[in-house]
Every structure is written in structure tokens, then in C-alpha cells.
Amino acid sequence: MNLQLGTQIGFGVVGGLGIFLLGMKNMSEGMQAVAGEKIRKLIKAVTDNRLIGCGVGTAITCLIQSSSVTTVMVVGMVNASLMTLQQAIGVILGANIGTTITGWILVLKIGHYGLPLLGISAFFFLFSKRERVRYIATMFLGLGMVFFGLELMKTGFAPLKEIPEFERWFSRFTPDGYFGVMKCCLVGAALTAIVQSSSATIGITMGLAATGVIQFPTAAALVLGENIGTTVTALLASIGASTNAKRAAYAHTVINILGVLWITTIFHLYLSFIQWIVGVDPATPVVQDGVESFPYAMRAIAATHSGFNITNAIIFMPLVTVLARLLVFLAPEKKYVEVPHLKFLDVRMLDAPVIGIQQSQKEILRMGEEVEQMLSLLKLSQNGQDVDKRNEERIFELEKHHDLAQKEIVEFLGNLMTGTVPHDVMERGRKQLRMADEYESISDYITNILKLILKTRNTNQQMTVDGLREVLDLHGKVAEYIHFVNLAVQAENKEILPAGLTQAKAITHLMKKYRSAHLDRVESGLATPLLSLIYTDMLNAYRRIKDHAFNIVEILAGEK
């Protein structure tokens, strides 16, 4: 093979593959942006019913055009204890079915229209001011790139069948016997594991088959192997995850490996069945404009992929409980208790912004709950009765956790909001960033109050009966206000501003009243200068807690 021909093939295949992969990414992001609300509803629909789980997995994968994203998302949700292992297995079975839609999209005889589809979509994307139109344009832009990329790959592959060296090399990978089938499967698995996209390798396989470089049986064996290679993505995503999340990733691998093992034992019988379904011999050539191609081979490959995954899902559906027990055996519980530092945040969700933003919202709610917990523990220290140092240490621990939580939420949302993200996700992300900052500030002031209490205790200062009563009263009002705000955050209540403002003003008025009463006690000589300073700092800290809580109210109402 001369250098010029090799360069021509390499440029065509590599360029086509790059455009194909970018097209898949754009199509996936566009579909997620357009169907974000539907995806959220589908996730909520997942129950212990295996058929529903399978249907949800199929629907989500069809919507986002990526089984890898679906399975990685499942691993993340299992890691956050939002989905059980058995539920995850049902969704994974559905994801395997949903990913076969890519093959059928490629079968459509509109490959030559990929470039004009790309161009028209680009105009809508560049010049439309409506966000939804731009997302739909992104989706079709990706679809156009997929078809155009496939055409480039097919054109690049075409000269290969005229090269004797390639034909001799590839003859080693023919599915003549069982081991020949397995050899082809291993090639497909390795290629998919490297490219990290089963859609791309199916596109390559279809391109080779459509140009006659490889025969349909070889292509079918490659596609079966690609089902194994695609599980690598979920396995990589499970690194550092909980044991249960690892089991979910292993489930994907075990299902696909066992499926390939049984299908390869009846490989040639299965291909005869596919040929009967398609109704035409895949080796039948079609000549158009003097160019010979094999479109029926592409149709047969898509049918092979779909038939295998649907049958596999039917076989494994009744065996979900047995499979779950096998996975527990393969990945036993660790001796220590696994507690993720941030329970809900998971980088596995970055490829699915509409789900990721839900996860970060749960972490914001968790920060709010912990602030309430800190205030409850602080009240025990304020009372000064049966002081438990472990409670006070817990307040300091929670404050440190909030520092880290805010940092990780900022990093997570910063990465989440890059790329093609729906406007509502972007807006919710901005609100969450500000809420995380406000909750972290509240935890700082709670800790400051605890330090003031410890200072009072260490210097043997004794607060007056009236002073202690006033502080506890103010503490109670602030704690109630925090609870009120947390409920609004949970309900995403945008109508909270009037009630929130009224309660905030009442707390400010109460703080000023108690400060005046304290100054009267100072003038009467009932409080020492040091105690006066500590008491005033406490009142100011409670006021600052209220101020930051009111900032959250304004964020919810869209005022900040």
C-alpha cells in the first residue's frame, strides 16, 4: 500500500470518526436539553418493577443516545443510595436495548443529506434567539454530523477492499468456527474499550460492511463484541464508588459477557434467523451512480444488535434477584462502613446535567438540615446544663464539612454548567451556588457563637438570668426561621419573599430590643465589660445568621 493511498484512507477514516463522535455528543446534549423534564420524570418512575425499570432505561437511552451515559448515571445513583441494585439492573437491561436505536438511525437512507442537514441546523443554531430552537438545532446538527461522519468513513474505507495486504490480514478474523467468532468478538470489544463509544464502533463496523470491506458474519461478530467493550465505561466510573455502585457496574459487564457467550454458541443459526427477518441476503450489492454498496448488510447489523439485546433482556429479566446475589458474592461488603463525604454529588452525573442538578440540590438540602442540627446542638451549650463536649465537637466537625461541601459544590456545578446546558439548569445552578455560600456562612456564625460560649465558660463569666432568657428566645426565633427557609428551599417556593421579609424584620426588632435591655443592665453594673462584649457579639452573630437566611429567601424569589 503506497503512502498516498494510506494517507487518503487515514484522513478519511480519522476525520469521519471525529465528526461522528462530535455529532453523537451534540445530539446527546441537544436531546438532554430538549427532553430534560421528561428524563427527570422517567428517573422518578423507576420502581422495583423490572419491566418499568427496563422501559425507563430504554427510554432514557433513546433520548440521550448513549448507553454509556445511562449506565454511568445508574452507577452514580446507586452510589448515592438513590437506587437499589435490583432497580439498577432493570435500567441497565433497558439501556442495552435503547442503545440499539443508533444502528437503526444509521440504516436510514439519508447519509447523503448529512451535510445539508448539518448546514441548515447550523444556521438555526447561530441565528435563532429562542433557546429551545437552538437546542433542537444542536440535536439535528449532531445528527447531521453523525451521517456526514459515517459517509466520510465509508468513503475512507472503500479503497481497503482493493488492497491484498489488508484482505490477507483481515482473513485471520473470520467467524468460520467458534473460536473465529470469539476472536472477532474480542476485536470488537477491544476497539470499543479504546474508543469508549459503542455507537462509534458500530458506525465503523457498518461503514466497513457497507463498502464490502468485511462480510456480514464478521460485522455481526464484531457488534456482539462491542457489547462487551461498552461496559468498560461503567467499570471506570465505579472506581472509588461504594460497593453497591461497583456491583451495578459489574452487572452491566456480567450481563453482556454471559449474553455474548450464549449467543456465540448458536451464532450461525442466529445469523440465519436475522437474514430471514431482514428478508434479503445482506451480501446483495446495490449499485448507485457507479458505486457498489451493501445497504442490506447495515440493516442486518442493526437487526443483529437489537435482536441480541432484546433477547438478552428477556432472558435476564426473571433472573434479576439471582444476578443480584451473584454480584453480592463477587463484590462482598467491606469491613468498614462506607460513607461518601458528599452523599449526593457525583462526577458521574456531569454528562447528564438534568440529573446532576437534582443531585446538587439534594446536597444543598443536606447543608440546610445540618445547619438546623448545629443550632439544636448549640442550644444545649447555651443552656449550660449537662454540657456534652461531643456535641460541641460535632458542631465544629459540621462547620468543617460545610467548608468542604461548598468547595465541592462550586467545582461540581462549575463543571456541570459547561457545554450545552438548558437555561433552567443554568439558572438553578447559579441559585445553588449562592445558596451553598449562604449556608456555609451560617455555619461559620454558629461556630462563632459556640466559641463565645466557650470563652464565657473559660473566663468564668456568668450570664444574668434575663440575658440567658433573651439569648435563648432569640436562638429559638432564628432556629424557627432557618427551618422555615429550609422548607421553602425543599419546595422551591418562589412566593416566600413577603413571609420571609416579615419574619426577618421581627428577628431584627427582637435583637435590637434585647441589645437595649442589655445596655441597661451594663449601666446598672449587672454585667462586666467582657461579658457585655461577648453578649453583644452573640446578638450580632444571630442577626448575621438571619441575614444569610434571608439572602436564601431572596435567591428563591429571584431577587438575587
2-11, 274-283, 488-497: least confidently modelled range: 2-11
Contacting residues for 125 by C-beta, under 8 A, at least 6 apart: 134, 137, 138, 141
140-144, 351-355, 376-380: least confidently modelled range: 351-355
- 385 in the same domain as 310: no
Between 178 and 33, residue with greater pLDDT: 178
**Residue 472 belongs to what domain range?**
349-557
Instruction: Report pLDDT for 517.
Output: 83
Say whether pLDDT at 484 is over 90.
yes
* 293 occurs within a structural domain: yes
3-class DSSP assignment, residue 506: helix
- 445 in the same domain as 324: no
Question: Mean per-residue pLDDT for 162-181?
Answer: 68
Strand 286-288, strand 291-293: pairing: antiparallel
Say whether pLDDT at 405 is over 90.
no
Question: Mean per-residue pLDDT for 229-250?
Answer: 78
Dump pLDDT digits (tens) for 323-363.
Answer: 888 888 887 776 544 444 455 555 555 566 767 777 788 88
Instruction: Report pLDDT for 158.
Output: 63
CA 75, distance to chain mean position in Å, is 9
Q: Assign 172 a pLDDT band (cuts: 50, 70, 90).
A: low
Instruction: Report pLDDT for 237.
Output: 67
Residue 425 near residue 369 (C-beta atoms within 8 A): no
Instruction: Report pLDDT for 438.
Output: 93
Residues 99 and 332: their CA atoms lie apart, in Å, by 30
Domain boundary among 278, 303, 330: 330
Long-range contacts of 426-435 (CB under 8 A, 24+ apart): 428/357, 428/361, 429/357, 429/360, 431/555, 431/556, 432/357, 432/360, 432/361, 432/364, 433/409, 434/551, 434/555, 434/560, 435/364, 435/367, 435/489, 435/552, 435/555
Question: Mean per-residue pLDDT for 434-440?
Answer: 92
Total domain count, the chain: 2
| Nearest by Cα to 45 from 54, 56, 29, 36 | 56
- 362 in the same domain as 302: no
- 543 in the same domain as 445: yes
User: In this structure, what are the phi and psi dihedrals at residue 241, rounded to the nearest 5 degrees?
Assistant: -90, 175
Residues 40 and 188: their CA atoms lie apart, in Å, by 33
- 256 in the same domain as 379: no
- 365 in the same domain as 316: no
- 290 in the same domain as 406: no
Domain boundary among 301, 330, 359: 330
Instruction: Report pLDDT for 191.
Output: 81
* 444 occurs within a structural domain: yes
How far apart, in Å, do the first and last CA atoms of the chain sit?
Answer: 66
Dump pLDDT digits (tens) for 27-85.
Answer: 777 777 776 667 767 776 766 678 888 888 888 888 776 777 777 777 777 776 667 88
* 343 occurs within a structural domain: no
Average pLDDT, the chain: 81
Give the CATH number, domain containing residue 539. 1.20.58.220
Say whether pLDDT at 213 is over 70.
yes
% pLDDT > 90, the chain: 15
* 113 occurs within a structural domain: yes
Burial class (CB in 10 A: 0-12, 13-18, 19+), 507: buried
Instruction: Report pLDDT for 338.
Output: 44
Domain boundary among 273, 297, 330: 330
Q: Where are the alpha helices (DSSP H) in 384-422?
A: 389-416
- 128 in the same domain as 205: yes
* 427 occurs within a structural domain: yes
CA 481, distance to chain mean position in Å, is 33
